[in-house]
Amino acid sequence: MVLLYYLNVFKNRTWTPGRILQGAEELEEKGYIQKDLTVLYPERVLKYYGLRTKIVWDEEYKHYRPVDELALKGQFEILYWYNPETDLHHFTGGNGAGIRTYDPLGESITATQGHIESKRIFNLL
């Protein structure tokens, strides 16, 4: 759902439940996501909807970026939260400096009571 948020931000896309379900089925068929909606290839999902990106990658961190790394101009971030009390993980949108700007669950316990474990940073192409 966080990827859909960024598609709205950058491509002004609006979503209906039917369009989300149709897209999920097509993306699962392509192998970009799993049936439980776990995203395997975020760049391919975004490209499928017309947003070209490149995830920031290096040999040390792979695609997991340090919590204190800032997203630069032309980049956006997805925050990966963990709540040790519930042992749950959750993704949200961020403002580039690690501040939550969009939570697909509204005010999730994981994001409000947990901590950012890592982030993914994407370059807009």
> Which one of 52, 76, 94 terminates a domain?
52
Q: What is the mean pLDDT of each run of 10 residues along the chain (125 residues)?
A: 94 91 96 94 95 91 90 97 96 97 96 96 97
Domain count across the chain = 2
Note whether 59 and 76 are same-domain residues.
Answer: yes
Note whether 87 and 27 are same-domain residues.
Answer: no
> Which one of 17, 33, 52 terminates a domain?
52
The whole domain housing 32 covers: 2-52
Note whether 62 and 43 are same-domain residues.
Answer: no
- Which helix H or strand E contains 43, and what residues bound it? helix 42-48
Q: CA of 79: how far to CAs of 1, 99, 117, in Å?
A: 13, 8, 8
Note whether 61 and 116 are same-domain residues.
Answer: yes
Whether the model pTM is above 0.95 = no
